[in-house]
Amino acid sequence: MRFSAVGFLLSAITLYAQTPVILISVDTLRADHSHTPTIESWASKGGTRFTNISTQVPLTLPAHTVLMASQYPFETEVEENATTVPPNTPTLARILKGRGYRTAAFIGSIFLEKELGLDQGFDTYDSPFSFGAFSKLSGELLVAGGTRNSYSVRERRPAPLVFRAANTWLAAHKGEPVFVFIHLFDQHKPWRATTYKAQSEMVDQALAGLEQSLRKEGWWDRSLVVLTADHGEGLGDHGESDHGYFIYGSTVHVPLVIHWPAGTSAITPNAARPGGLVDVAPSILDFLKIPIPPSFHGRSLFSGPGPSAVFSESVYARDAFGWSPLRSLRVGNLKYIDAPKPELYDLEKDPGEKDNLIARRPSDAARLKAQLASYRPPATVSTQPGGDPGRRKEVLESLGYLAPGPANSAASGADPKDRLPDLIRYEEALDKMAARRYDLAITSFRAILAHDPGNLLVRRDLGAALVETRKFAEAASELQRVASASPGDYVTRYELGLANEGTGKFAEAKEQFEAACKLTPASTQCQEAIRRVSAKLPAKIH
């Protein structure tokens, strides 16, 4: 039998294009904590570990949007968790579905709930969470009258349950080309284990169970299995306990391990080349011999010269507190962080980013700063934290998660490094709120506001704490200041409604609750409040 060269090439393309793809994201897994037995075996036995991969933003929804859409956060405007993915976004799932793949996602946390828009392109998007109770569960912002039980299973589900759902779906689609996305949230606080390292080991054991199931059902040897993370965890490095505030390696450096289908021999990637989550989707398409769409702004890690630079950002400090955002660019071993007090590090000699070279290597800093300037949002896009470009959705604000922040406040330009003590004090105040130690929380909030009076998020939470202590008049005064500057903040409107209700101003309370409901129509919380205060109004005012 004779085969033409063209026929052989088409056969090869068809073979790769039908390869099952299993993409696993372990939320909050630092690269240096990913050298666990199962992950290590995936890398060393028929796989590759990429050692210099960075997230483009150290927050769950924005990072996963980068992973799926291969666009930078400022392009999609998904820079915070309190956002929605723009409709009709070209994603990896959309592209593979268009090539005949059956697509499914199995989600471990409410922060990737279907309503946020990451479901685009998936035939099945398994995220069994309810926004109705979210405000009582998140532990990030107080909603008066609600509990802050961050251990509730209603905001997350453990890895074994995620894997069970995925395995059930895979069993129903044997022999088909599939793209399966699996999101694990076990590594994110709060941990079931006592330490971050112990939790990593528990996750690794769950991954071992997944591998066993994939082998048993015949998926392992014929699938491209990709494991990564959306971001790491501070664990005290640079004073950051968790993630989202800074963009140092502790939260930006993420693992990327690819286990190849059996018999793969043509892939010889440069595993040490710097890259980002933005490059993962193009790499998968490159392996499958599927054209990379022009909307994808990452590059394949398997072919070509690779990305010339790796961009990362965090706008948390700006959106939450009105301080300066952070943006960075890595070129080779050099990493420049643009901030009021800029930083430059040689990551080969100083991987912990302890020795700031900004004064000793000004020409390198100037070169990277100039290159970083090309990474900017389109001129038509509103980058104001509370702006409404038609894409931003306020839903997570109503659910208790950290809101996008003050819409019209002028950023102070404070360097987040200098304001770290305030962040720590703020987080401690939230812990006091959770413990119902409201007077102590109020003292902490007032201490921050004494030298940072424009911090509307702290002022809003001060107002919420005053509501809890039934100091309604004081609460209304503080919350009205916030509402005037940030009229689109659900939490402010709701808390102000409670404060007005507490002072007997039922008409004003109803007005605030109605404004809250307009922002988030699905919120039963404000609807119940409207009914409550309406019953207290004279009949003619209803």
Distance CA 453, CA 449 (A): 5
**Pairing status of strand 102-106 against strand 178-184:** parallel
Would you state the pLDDT for residue 386? 39
Mean pLDDT confidence for 243-256:
97
Q: Give CATH 1.25.40.10 domain extents, the chain.
A: 420-541
Q: Which residue has the tokens 């994110």?
A: 188
CA distances from 389 to 27, 70, 323, 477 (A): 28, 21, 22, 30
Q: Is the pLDDT of residue 490 over 90?
A: no
Cα–Cα dist 482/466, whole Å: 14
The pLDDT tens digits for 184-223 are 999 999 888 889 999 999 999 999 999 999 999 999 999 9
User: What is the pairing mode between strands 343-346 and 326-331?
Assistant: unpaired
- pLDDT grade for 444, boundaries at 50, 70 and 90: very high
pLDDT at 396 over 60: no
Burial of 211 (0-12, 13-18, 19+ CB in 10 A): middle
Helices (H), 407-489: 420-434, 438-451, 456-468, 472-485
Pairwise CA distance, residues 201 & 261, whole Å: 25
- Sort strands 21-26 and 224-228 into parallel, antiparallel or unpaired: parallel
Q: What pLDDT, on the 0 to 100 scale, is given for residue 305? A: 66
Q: What pLDDT sits at residue 410?
A: 36
Collect all residues with Cβ–Cβ distance below 8 Å to 80 and sequence separation of at least 6. 59, 61, 62, 315, 316, 319, 385, 402, 404
- Tokens read off for 390: 């038609």
How many Å separate Cα 284 from the centre of its chain? 21
Determine contact, residues 415/537, Cβ cutoff 8 Å.
Answer: no
Give the whole-angstrom CA distance, residue 296 versus residue 209. Answer: 33
Strand partners, 313: 327
Tell me how far apart the alpha carbons of residues 27 and 186 are, in angstroms, rounded to a whole number: 7
- pLDDT at residue 519, as a whole number: 79
Above 50 in pLDDT, residue 405?
Answer: no
Which residues, in sequence order, are CB contacts of 422 under 8 Å at separation 6+? 321, 448, 452, 455
pLDDT at 420 over 50: yes
Q: Architecture of 5-279+286-309 per CATH?
A: 3-Layer(aba) Sandwich (3.40)
Give me the amino acid identity at 519. L
Instruction: Flag the least confident range among 4-13, 329-338, 420-429.
Output: 4-13
Which stretches of 255-294 are DSSP H helices? 280-287
> In the structure, what pLDDT confidence band is assigned to residue 14 with cuts at 50, 70 and 90?
very low
226-238 average pLDDT score:
98
Task: List, for residues 495-531, the tens digit of each pLDDT value.
Answer: 999 999 999 999 999 999 999 888 777 777 888 999 9
Ranking 271-285, 288-302, 403-417, 490-504 by mean pLDDT, the lowest is 403-417
Is 308 exposed, middle or buried (CB count within 10 Å of its CB: 0-12, 13-18, 19+)?
Answer: exposed
- In angstroms, the Cα distances linking 374 to 308, 367, 377 are 13, 12, 9
The CATH 3.40.720.10 portion of the chain extends over 5-279+286-309
Percent of the chain clearing pLDDT 70 (strictly above)? 84
Burial of 158: CB neighbours in 10 Å, binned 0-12, 13-18, 19+ = middle
pLDDT at 9 over 90: no
Q: Which residues contact 28 (CB under 8 A, 6 or more apart)?
A: 185, 187, 188, 189, 229, 230, 231, 232, 233, 243
Helix, strand, or coil (residue 202): helix
Query: Is residue 8 over pLDDT 80?
Result: no
Tell me, what's the pLDDT at 516?
86
Residue 251 has pLDDT above 60, yes or no: yes
Residue 139 has pLDDT above 50, yes or no: no
Percent of the chain topping pLDDT 90: 70
Backbone angles phi and psi of 182, in degrees to 5: -125, 125
Task: Please report the pLDDT score of residue 121 as a whole number.
Answer: 98
CATH architecture of structural domain 420-541: Alpha Horseshoe (1.25)
Cβ count within 10 A of residue 272:
10
User: How confident is the prediction for the chain on average, in pLDDT?
Assistant: 86
Q: Name the one residue in this structure whose structure tokens are 């694990």.
A: 184
Residue 149 and residue 518: Cα distance in Å, rounded?
Answer: 27
Most confident stretch, 73-82, 399-408, 417-426: 417-426
pLDDT in tens, 21-72: 999 999 999 999 999 999 999 999 999 999 999 999 999 999 999 999 999 9
Nearest in space to 161 (alpha carbons), one of 194, 113, 210: 210
Instruction: Report the pLDDT averaged over residues 9-26.
Output: 70
| Mean pLDDT computed over 323-346 | 97
CA distance 438 to 461: 11
**Per-residue model confidence (pLDDT) at position 431:** 93
- Give me the pLDDT at residue 133, please: 30
Smallest CA-to-CA distance from 395 within 66, 145, 135 is with 135
Task: Centre a 10 Å sphere on the Cβ of residue 410 and count the other Cβ atoms it contains.
Answer: 9
**Spatial separation of the C-alpha atoms in residues 203 and 223, rounded to whole Å:** 21
Q: Which residues of 425-455 are buried (b: 16+ CB within 10 A; e: fewer)?
A: ebeebbebbeeeebeebbebbeebbeebebb
At residue 16, does pLDDT exceed 90? no
Give 251 or 396, the one with higher predicted confidence: 251
